Amino acid sequence: MRILLVEDDERIARDVMTALGEAGFVIDREASGEEAWFKGDVEDYDGVILDLGLPDLDGLKILRRWRDAGREFPILILTARGNWAERVEGIEAGADDYLPKPFRMEELLARLRAIMRRSFGQSTSALTVGPITVDTRHQRIAVKGEPVDLSPQEFRLVSYLAHHAGRAVSQSELLEHLYPADTDATTNSIEVLVGRVRRKLGVDCITTRRGFGYIMAGDS
């Protein structure tokens, strides 16, 4: 899952990026409000963590611009401001949740996962597709109840396909959501990754729809 972190405080940004990386997310980070607004306007993120107190463009303005443009990705607001009315304003402007500073990293991850689950219509951190269970909180995969050892990148692939179960996901979409923007990964990298996962989970767990992409379906 690819996350946009909009935070101008270097220490907070570094700590959040470390926690997100350890939790299995791919992260783009922007300190500039203008740059963040542009990225969110043209990129398809799975979630956004948005600080309100940005130096060049206020976080609430960015939020409103995205929602007015029809951008529907889930947004978690970070704010050091104690004004409850401003928090309400953020929610009414289209934020999915907010977290006041200072915060514990465990709560940030829990809130981020929660708004992302809601965006996919899920109620728990465990997602089941056919015989495959994906535990997004603990980054674990099981097939028919038996745990399967996957690398972090293999887990990201299975998790992304499971969240989009029943839909063909193209190689270009997987490249965008599984690898950082500055990666040298190619479509061949995706083919190799899918091949490894098929060997571990079973060849029928991920099917190919020629010309469209890879599908994980509930009856696989």
In a domain, 46, yes or no: yes
* Average pLDDT estimate for 19-24: 92
Question: Between β-strands 26-30 and 132-135, what pairing exists: parallel, antiparallel or unpaired?
Answer: unpaired
- Top pLDDT among 89 and 11 is at 11
In this prediction, residues 186-200 reach a mean pLDDT of 93
The answer to the question of residue 220 being in a domain is: no
Same domain, 140 and 173: yes
Residue-averaged pLDDT of the chain: 90
The 10s digit of each residue's pLDDT in 198-219 is 999 986 889 999 889 999 986 5
Residue 220 — pLDDT band, cuts 50, 70, 90? very low
Q: Is the pLDDT of residue 78 over 70?
A: yes
My answer on whether 169 and 113 are in the same domain is no
Proportion of the chain above pLDDT 70, given as a percent:
96
Report yes or no on 195 lying in a domain: yes
Q: Is the pLDDT of residue 125 over 80?
A: no
Judgement on whether residues 109 and 197 belong to the same structural domain of the protein: no
User: Which residue in 70, 4, 76, 13 sits closest to 43, CA to CA?
Assistant: 4
Asked if 207 and 179 sit in the same domain, the reply is yes
- Quick one: pLDDT band at residue 141, thresholds 50, 70, 90? very high
pLDDT at 87: 75
Residues 36, 145, single domain; the answer is no
DSSP structure class, residue 137: T
Task: Identify whether residues 202 and 170 lie together within a single domain.
Answer: yes
Same domain (yes/no): 21, 66: yes
Same domain, 155 and 61: no
Q: How confident is the model at residue 185 (pLDDT cuts 50, 70, 90)?
A: confident
Q: Residue 157 pLDDT more than 80?
A: yes
Residues 125, 135 contacting (CB under 8 angstroms): yes
Band of residue 81 on the pLDDT scale cut at 50, 70, 90: low
User: Are 78 and 141 members of one domain?
Assistant: no
Q: Is 65 exposed, middle or buried (0-12, 13-18, 19+ CB in 10 A)?
A: middle
pTM of the model: 0.81
Do residues 134 and 113 share a domain?
no
Q: What are 30's strand-pairing partners? A: 6
In three-state secondary structure terms, 138 is: coil
Domain boundary among the residues 119, 143, 176 is at: 119
> Per-residue confidence at 50, pLDDT binned at 50, 70, 90?
very high
**Region of poorest pLDDT, from 9-13, 105-109, 155-159, 199-203:** 199-203
57 and 12 part of one domain: yes
pLDDT at 164 > cutoff 50? yes
Domain end call among 119, 146, 174: 119
Domain boundary pick from 79, 101, 119: 119
pLDDT at residue 57 tops 60 = yes
Range of the domain at 95: 2-119
